[in-house]
Structure 1
Amino acid sequence: MRVGAHESIAGGVANAVDRQLDDGGNCGQIFTHSPQVWQDPNIDDDDAAAFRESSVENDVGPWVIHSSYLVNLCTPKDDLRAKSIDSMQQEVDTAAKLDIPYVNVHLGAHTGAGEQQGLDNAVSALDELDIPDGVTVLVESDAGSGTKMGDEFEHLGYVLDESTQDLEICLDTAHAFAAGYDLSTSGGVDETLGELDAEVGIENLACVHLNDSKHECGTNKDEHAHIGEGLIGEDGMSAFVNHDAIRDVPLVLETPNEGGKGFAWNIERVRDLRAE
């Protein structure tokens, strides 16, 4: 099983591998810079080489780069669109430099342009990227609030179908739950993954952000909880991680560090649930 966490690159991107190993993970995710600002990735050749070598030597992977939170592919605003495309181009180029196969991105919000226009904006923005060989952009499911897109699996399927790029998806369990897909029971997990298969194709699921939720199903509130201790709960999480459809999909945790529990506790919890 491939399970790991979103690790910091403080002090150099190669340090993320050491942090992953300390937490007991064997795959993971990083930001290449602060996700709250427009900033270019600044990873020198030596650090990149150290990251690549350490990942291979310690069998840690696949890795995912998570794009900036400021990126909005659905936006109707020309300046924000241009910044979003430029930021994504730098992320996919950095992924190639680090031998990271995936760059994860949210669709963003249509901010009044309408759902269809927002989706078409996202498709055309993604189509402008020059994605290097060996790198795939993953469109992430969203919790949905306001005019944000990606909370419905149909949105993800539309973007994959209409884009000229070879895209795949990342399913966030807390986001899906917040968006109204009930993952708290075995039956709910079956139904949700069945709908994902129908709308997107389960073969296009490349990564899972495995998170429990602090809020009820369908609230559109995105706040992550420790695995099995949120409102998805132990039964739902166990059913999910043991489901045949995701057994070979990398699981990346974005769980909180609170109550004396961090990534290491949550990674071990996932392994315990899989063993069950």
Structure 2
Amino acid sequence: MKVGAHESIAGGVYNAVDDQIEDGGNCGQIFTHSPQVWQDPNIGEEEAEQFRTLSAENDVGPWVIHSSYLVNLCTPKDDLREKSVDSMQKEVDAADALDVPYVNVHLGAHTGAGVENGLDNAASALDELDIPEGVTVLVESDAGSGTKLGDDFEHLAEVLDRSEQDLDVCLDTAHVFAAGYDLSSEAAVYDAVAEFDDVVGLEHLECIHLNDSKHECGTNKDEHAHIGEGYIGDEGMSAVVNHPDLADVPLVLETPHEDGRGFAWNIERVKELRE
């Protein structure tokens, strides 16, 4: 089973590998810079080489780069679109330098342009990218508050269909649940996976952000809980972890650090749930 967490790159991107190993993970995710500001990745070649070497020697991977929270692919505003495309180009280039196969991105919000225009904007923005060979952009599901897109499986399918790029998908269990797809029982998980397969296709599912939810299904509230201790609960989390069609999909945790528990506790919990 591939399971890991979103690790910090403080002090050097290679530190994320050591932290992942210490937490008991064997794959994971990073930001290349603070996600709350427009900032370029600042990773030197020597630092990148250490990351690549440590990951290879310890069989840690695949890794995912999560794009900046400021990126909005759906925006109708030219200046924000330009910044978003520029930021994403730098992320896919950083992924290439680090031998990271995936860059994860939220579609963003259409801010009044409408769903169809928002989806068109996202697909055409992604089409502007020069994505290096060996790197794939993953469109992430969203909890769906306001005019944000990606809460409906159809949104993900439409962007994949409208874009000329070879895109794939990352599903976040907390987001999917908040968006109204029940995951709190084995039957519900099987129904949701079957619907995703019908609408998008499981062949496009390359990563799962495995998070429990502090809020009920359909609330559009995105707040993560420890594995098994939110409204998805042990039964739902276990059903995701043990679903035969998801067995080989890397699981990346973005669970909280609270109650004296962090990534190590949650990764161990996932391993306990795996049958």
Q: CA deviation at 1:157?
A: 0.3
Residue matched to 1:160: 160
Aligned length: 275
Task: Give the TM-score of the pair, scaled to structure 1.
Answer: 0.99
C-alpha distance in structure 2 between counterparts of 1:251 and 1:48, whole Å: 23
Q: Deviations over 1:25-57 (max 9, x none)?
A: 000000000000000000000000000000000
In the TM superposition, residue 189 of structure 1 has moved relative to its aligned partner by: 0.2
Corresponding residue SS for 1:34: coil
**Number of the residue aligned with 2:81:** 81
Once residues 170 and 199 of structure 2 are traced to their aligned partners in structure 1, the CA distance between those partners, rounded to angstroms, is 14
CA distance in 2, matches of 1:161, 1:247: 26
Which residue is equivalent to 2:221?
221
Q: Cα RMSD over matched residues?
A: 0.4
| Deviation of the 1:266 alpha carbon | 0.3
Q: Give me the whole-angstrom Cα distance separating, in 1, the residues matched to 2:153 and 2:16.
A: 31
How far apart are the structure 1 equivalents of 2:256 and 2:148? 23
In the TM superposition, what whole-angstrom CA distance separates every residue of 1:202-257 from its partner, at most 9, and x where no partner exists?
Answer: 01000000000000000000000000000000000001110011100000000000
Q: Which residue of 1 aligns with 2:133?
A: 133
1:258 aligns to what SS in structure 2? coil
In structure 1, the residue corresponding to 2:139 is in which secondary structure?
A: strand
Q: Quick check: 1:6 aligned with 2:12?
A: no
Q: State the shift of 1:162 in Å.
A: 1.2
For 1:193 and 1:245, locate their aligned partners in 2 and report how far apart those are by CA, in whole Å.
Answer: 8
- Separation in 2 of the partners of 1:115 and 1:234? 35
1:150 alignment counterpart? 150
For residues 93 and 229 of structure 2, the distance between their equivalents in structure 1, rounded to whole angstroms, comes to 38
For 1:92-149, what per-residue CA distance to the aligned partner results, in whole angstroms no more than 9, with x for missing partners? Answer: 0000000000000000000000000000000000000000000000000000000000
Matches for 1:55-204 after TM superposition, within 5 Å: 55-204=55-204
Aligned-pair CA distance for 1:171: 0.2
Superposition misfits of 4+ residues, deviation over 3 angstroms: none
Q: Which residue of 2 aligns with 1:233?
A: 233
In structure 1, distance between residues paired with 2:40 and 2:143: 27
Q: Tell me what 2:243 maps to.
A: 243
TM-score (normalised: structure 2): 1.00
Question: 1:61 offset after TM fit, Å?
Answer: 0.1
Corresponding residue number in structure 2 for 1:263: 263
Provide the rounded CA distance (Å) in 2 between the counterparts of 1:199 and 1:15: 39
1:150 aligned partner, one-letter code: G
1:161 CA drift (Å): 1.0
Distance 2:241 2:200 in 1: 20
Any idea what SS the aligned residue of 2:5 has?
A: strand
Query: Is the partner of 1:103 in helix, strand or coil?
Result: strand
Structure 1 gaps, min length 5? none
Which residue of structure 2 lines up, in the alignment, with residue 44 of structure 1? 44
Identical-pair percentage: 76
Shift in Å at residue 201 of structure 1? 0.3
1:49 and 1:199 map into 2 onto residues whose CA distance is: 40
Q: Distance in 2 between matches of 1:144 and 1:274?
A: 29
Q: Gapped runs of 5+ residues in structure 2? A: none
Range that drifts further, 212-221 or 236-245:
236-245
